[in-house]
């Protein structure tokens, strides 16, 4: 899975940080949010090739991708409505684990079917790169891969399970990372197969 040794500075893994009850409560909040702001399939800028991951957001700003580019905007690209609020449980988790004085503005919701992937990329569409990104995994396990801050260097993998939380800040904020595969049938949290990942981010400089 991952070679022995400490994780890089700024990357914190909290395995099983949310117990089954907390995962269920959070999932109910996310289902309510996706009822207001449905999952949609973003497209690659330029080519318009569809993502294998479906997405939506909560918060005052949401990350979107379409033929025109990647950006944060305050409304859903298909309904035109504002994103629903970030669930209070997630704001609490940020206060506990992010070690950052300003609240997150965006919660990107990624839904992976068993065949969905996310290629190696950096998250750098945020103006505030001093704030960490906090990620929560729900549902089937995933093979998460990360490297360094330049493309093409060595990478390591971590298997993420439902209830795990990752915090990526400091020297890890700009590492290349992606999701190589989903392991269907490894969780009973969702009704069917698949994985949900939530990422909390600060977008603007306070
Ligand atoms: C490392 N999501 O939405 S979460 C993304 O599992 C994204 O859905 C993946 O990469 C997923 O952009 C990985 C873990 C994660 C999130 C943000 C990061 C790792 C990160 C930002 C910087 C470095
Ligand atoms: Fe990312």
Domains and CATH numbers, the chain: 11-201 (2.60.120.590)
Model confidence at 205: pLDDT above 80:
yes
- Cross-strand pairs, 110: 55, 197
Looking from the CA of residue 137, the nearest atom of ligand 1 is: 6
Q: Which SS3 state, helix, strand or coil, does residue 189 take? A: coil
Q: How far is the CA of 110 from the centre of ligand 1 (A)?
A: 10
N-to-C CA span, the chain: 38
Alpha-carbon span 97 to 8, nearest angstrom: 17
Alpha-carbon span 54 to 56, nearest angstrom: 7
**Of 2, 7, 3, 12, whose CA–CA distance to 165 is shortest?**
12
| Residue 133 beta carbon below 6 angstroms from any ligand 1 atom | yes
Residue closest via CA to ligand 1's atom 8 equals 197
- Cross-strand pairs, 159: 143
Q: How far is the CA of 112 from the centre of ligand 1 (A)?
A: 13
| Residue 166 beta carbon below 6 angstroms from any ligand 1 atom | yes
Which residue has tokens 């992606």? 178
pLDDT of residue 3: 56
**How do strand 165-168 and strand 11-14 relate by DSSP bridges?**
antiparallel
**Integer-rounded Cα radius of gyration of the chain:** 16
pLDDT of residue 152: 94
Q: Which SS3 state, helix, strand or coil, does residue 164 take? A: coil
| Residue 165 beta carbon below 6 angstroms from any ligand 1 atom | no
Q: How far is the CA of 203 from the centre of ligand 2 (A)?
A: 14
- Cross-strand pairs, 14: 165
Exposed, middle or buried: residue 9 (CB in 10 Å: 0-12, 13-18, 19+)?
Answer: exposed
Ligand positioned closest to the Cα atom of 63: 1
Q: How far is the CA of 28 from the centre of ligand 2 (A)?
A: 24
Model confidence at 5: pLDDT above 70:
no
Sheet holding 195-201, edge to edge: 11-14, 165-168, 133-139, 195-201, 106-112, 54-59
The residue to mutate among 9, 157, 168, having the most atoms of ligand 1 within 8 angstroms of its beta carbon, is 168
pLDDT of residue 156: 96
pTM: 0.97
pLDDT tens track for 135-187: 999 999 999 999 999 999 999 999 999 999 999 999 999 999 999 999 999 99
- Cross-strand pairs, 112: 195
The confidence band for 6, taking pLDDT boundaries of 50, 70 and 90, is: confident
Model confidence at 97: pLDDT above 70:
yes
The confidence band for 4, taking pLDDT boundaries of 50, 70 and 90, is: low
Q: How far is the CA of 146 from the centre of ligand 2 (A)?
A: 10
Residue closest via CA to ligand 1's atom 6 equals 197
| Residue 56 beta carbon below 6 angstroms from any ligand 1 atom | no
pLDDT tens track for 35-93: 999 999 999 999 999 999 999 999 999 999 999 999 999 999 999 999 999 999 999 99
Residue 123 is given by DSSP the state -
């Amino acid at each position: 899975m991952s070679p022995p040794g400490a994780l890089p500075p700024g990357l914190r893994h909290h395995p099983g940080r949310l117990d089954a009850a907390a995962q269920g409560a959070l999932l109910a909040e996310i289902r309510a949010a996706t009822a207001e702001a449905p999952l949609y399939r973003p497209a690659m800028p330029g080519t318009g090739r569809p993502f294998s991951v479906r997405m939506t957001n909560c918060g005052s700003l949401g990350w979107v991708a379409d033929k025109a580019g990647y950006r944060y905007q305050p409304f859903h690209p298909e309904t035109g409505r504002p994103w629903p609020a970030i669930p209070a449980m997630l704001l609490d988790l940020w206060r506990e684990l992010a070690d950052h004085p300003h609240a997150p503005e965006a919660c990107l919701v990624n839904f992976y079917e068993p065949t969905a992937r996310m290629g190696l990329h950096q998250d750098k569409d945020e103006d505030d790169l001093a704030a960490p990104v906090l990620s929560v995994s729900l549902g089937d396990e995933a093979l998460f891969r990360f490297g360094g801050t330049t493309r093409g260097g060595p990478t390591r993998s971590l298997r993420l399970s439902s209830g795990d939380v990752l915090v990526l800040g400091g020297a890890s904020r700009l590492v290349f990372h992606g999701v190589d595969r989903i392991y269907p049938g490894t969780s009973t949290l969702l009704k069917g197969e698949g994985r949900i990942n939530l990422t909390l981010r600060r977008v603007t400089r306070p």
